[in-house]
Amino acid sequence: MLPLMPVHTVVLAKAPVAGRVKTRLVPALGQAGATKLAGRLLADAVARVHAACGQSLHLPSGAALTLSAELCGSPAPGHADWIGHVPAHIAHADAAPGSVWTWTDQGGGDLGERMARASQRVTQSGRAVLLVGTDCPTLSPDWLREAALRLQRHQAVLLGARDGGYVLLGLRSHCPAVFEHMPWSTDAVASLTLQHLQAQGLDVWQGPLFDDVDTPADLARLQQPV
């Protein structure tokens, strides 16, 4: 039986600035359209995480768990690129007692280095971490809460993407191996991440596969009627 552990969701995001976000969608949407979509995905991801944090999770033991969250951004908080893209409850979180949000700087390095810093910082504070991006509009508040609940019974959770990446990684303790020497943006990321987790002897819960939005093909699939 694992001890109850608070869960902190880290949304890793770039400010939606033309030429820096969703560049693979420019052929389909144009630069302005791709940038606008990035902004909408960011706002939607923050809203979904905020909704997940707004409801207590009740465990079979009767204990209750509340999620906290942060926007871990690039560039750093307060940069002009964020103007108009960060909700007030995040931008002014430091001045709002009891806020579930914080706003932090991703720092430099590749994706693995930036994710590793966030993971290490959160887990060293005694909390489990859920690492998510902004590219999966179907990662609902219910799935975020489910991942947090699963982390009370498993050492790691992984929600993969149909393209071979993943849309959520949850850890109770920092696992450097899942962030090092990883071929990011390839179809091997999720499988290698799972291999590294299992090689460390961690009990991993996996959910269903999700669609993210990175390429024109992803966009076309998202627009298809269910």
| Structure confidence by residue, pLDDT tens digits, 137-195 | 999 999 999 999 999 999 999 999 999 999 999 999 999 999 999 999 999 999 999 99
Higher-confidence residue: 64 or 123?
123
Rg (CA), the chain: 17
pTM of the predicted model over 0.85? yes
Give percent of the chain above pLDDT 70: 98
What 8-state DSSP symbol labels residue 178? G
What's the rounded mean pLDDT across residues 47-75? 91
* Exposure on the CB side of residue 165, measured as CA atoms within 13 A: 17
Distance CA 203, CA 225 (A): 36
Is the pLDDT at 110 greater than 60? The verdict is yes
User: How deeply is 180 buried, as exposed, middle or buried, from its count of CB atoms within 10 A (0-12, 13-18, 19+)?
Assistant: exposed
Name all contacts of 169-174 with Cβ < 8 Å and 24+ positions apart.
Answer: 169/115, 169/130, 169/131, 169/193, 170/7, 170/128, 170/129, 170/130, 170/131, 171/119, 171/123, 171/128, 171/129, 171/131, 172/2, 172/5, 172/123, 172/128, 173/123, 174/116, 174/119, 174/120, 174/123, 174/124
Q: What is the pLDDT averaged over residues 82-100? A: 89
Contact between 11 and 155 under an 8 Å Cβ cutoff? The reply is no
What is the CATH superfamily name and number for domain 7-223?
Answer: Spore Coat Polysaccharide Biosynthesis Protein SpsA; Chain A (3.90.550.10)
E strands, 111-152, are 128-132
Q: How far apart are CA 220 and CA 218, in angstroms?
A: 5
Distance, first Cα to last Cα, the chain: 40
Residue in the structure block whose two tokens are 């859920």: 130
